[in-house]
Amino acid sequence: MANLSKKAEANRKNGRVNGISEDTKKAKKTAAKTEQADRAAEVRLANDVLHDGVKRFDYVKNVKYFIYAYIAVFVAVIACFAIFGAELAIEFKGGTILTYSYTGEVDGTDFANKASDELQTLDPVKFTEMGRINYTKGETFGDDKQTTISLSFSSNEGLAGDLIPELLAKLQSNYPDNNIKSFGVQDVNPSSGFSFFLKCLAAVALSFVLIIIYISIRFTKIGGLPAALFGLLALFIDIFIVFGVYVFAQFSFSSNFIAAALTILGYSINSTIVIYDRIRENKTLFGEKTDRRTLVNISSSQSLKRTLYTTGTSVMVLIVVVIMSYIYNVPSVMQFALPILAGMVSGFFTSQFISGPLWALWTTRKSVTHKTAEAK
């Protein structure tokens, strides 16, 4: 009886062990099937087509063509800058701003040319090589609205007090039907103007630093610093495009340029962050071993419509603003809207087709180098 009891006890133990073994085997098989299904889904996402039947674009493979295109633009901008140069506005380099109110219609270019001729007649020594006079039109606020035109030109010493009424009299004689009146005179010191320019550049540089810190901290899971640096590269390209518009259009570099650059920083980095966020989510979904090229191609495709819609909406509004500022001859608005328009278009391409793919190439190369070093 004792032997039978021992045998029964042993059989029960073996049954439990065998049961546990069978459960473990089943769990392993289920896990393997799940992993295979996940990998199969990943392969379909990477190599087949999108949910709407459109063949997936290989962002990583084609990044070189976008880089070549931007290099060509860079060369053209630098060549144009070397040939034609660029001019700082009065608020940066110092000079004089004369503002007049008027009635009726006045052609801004003709008004600036006549003012330049009269100044050279009144003081040939001082104003012979004064350069071009820029103008901007506007309106005053309040109940008694007036149309104004502001003339700005470089000047180290400012405009002497006796020349101001003389110039006004000359302009009134040239435009007898427009009721020309002096609305204000402002002299900007060259040293203070240059100091203001340096402060504006410092603001842009500080924004670069803060962006690097923010992306490095937020996206540590996908490499942090490399993602931040490639996002910064995309921002630099976009700001250079804004600079190129100023050079090609021969706009004076004023506070409008700084405002446009900071605006583009916000728009462009937002699109880049959206794609990085999608890369981080897909890395969690597909696993750490998923190919970086696959991650970027999937994530960029998923973000394409969102980026296209948001950028397209803003671009359409800016196109209307540019057209209206051209029709009504408002250069101050044109000098702000046109560079932002170009920067937003560039921001779409850099965030969608450059920053992510370069991140993929860099991290893939770094991973291969690390594995090679470990093998040795």
Are residue 138 and residue 227 in the same domain, yes or no? no
Are residue 182 and residue 197 in the same domain, yes or no? no
Among 151, 173, 188, give the residue marking a domain's end.
188
Residue at 6 is within a domain: no
CATH number assigned to the domain comprising residue 110: 3.30.70.420
Structural domains counted in the chain: 2
Task: Please tell me the distance from the alpha carbon of residue 97 to that of residue 234, in angstroms, as a whole number.
Answer: 37
Has residue 129 got a pLDDT over 70?
Answer: no
Are residue 82 and residue 225 in the same domain, yes or no? yes
Among 139, 171, 188, give the residue marking a domain's end.
188
Residue at 49 is within a domain: no
Has residue 342 got a pLDDT over 90?
Answer: yes
Task: Please tell me the distance from the alpha carbon of residue 328 to that of residue 349, in angstroms, as a whole number.
Answer: 31
pLDDT in tens, 183-227: 888 777 766 667 877 888 888 888 888 888 988 888 888 777 888
Task: Please tell me the distance from the alpha carbon of residue 233 to that of residue 63, in angstroms, as a whole number.
Answer: 14
Residue listed under structure tokens 């006890």: 9
Residue at 14 is within a domain: no
Q: Are the CB atoms for 237 and 354 separated by under 8 Å?
A: yes
Among 188, 220, 237, give the residue marking a domain's end.
188
Are residue 156 and residue 290 in the same domain, yes or no? no
Neighbours of 180 (CB within 10 A): 22
Are residue 147 and residue 262 in the same domain, yes or no? no
Residue at 44 is within a domain: no
pLDDT in tens, 31-44: 666 655 555 555 55
Are residue 207 and residue 287 in the same domain, yes or no? yes
Residue at 7 is within a domain: no
**Rounded to an integer, what is the distance from CA 261 to the centroid of its chain?**
7
So what's the pLDDT on residue 42? Answer: 52
Task: For residue 358, give the nearest of 270, 254, 233, 268 by alpha carbon.
Answer: 233
Task: Please tell me the distance from the alpha carbon of residue 73 to that of residue 164, in angstroms, as a whole number.
Answer: 44
So what's the pLDDT on residue 353? Answer: 92
Has residue 350 got a pLDDT over 90?
Answer: yes
pLDDT band at residue 321 using 50, 70 and 90 as cut-offs:
very high
Are residue 138 and residue 239 in the same domain, yes or no? no
Cβ density class 125-153: b for 16+ within 10 Å, e for less = ebbeebeebbbbbeeeeeeeebbbbbbbb
Residue at 38 is within a domain: no
| Residue 259, domain extent | 59-87+193-366
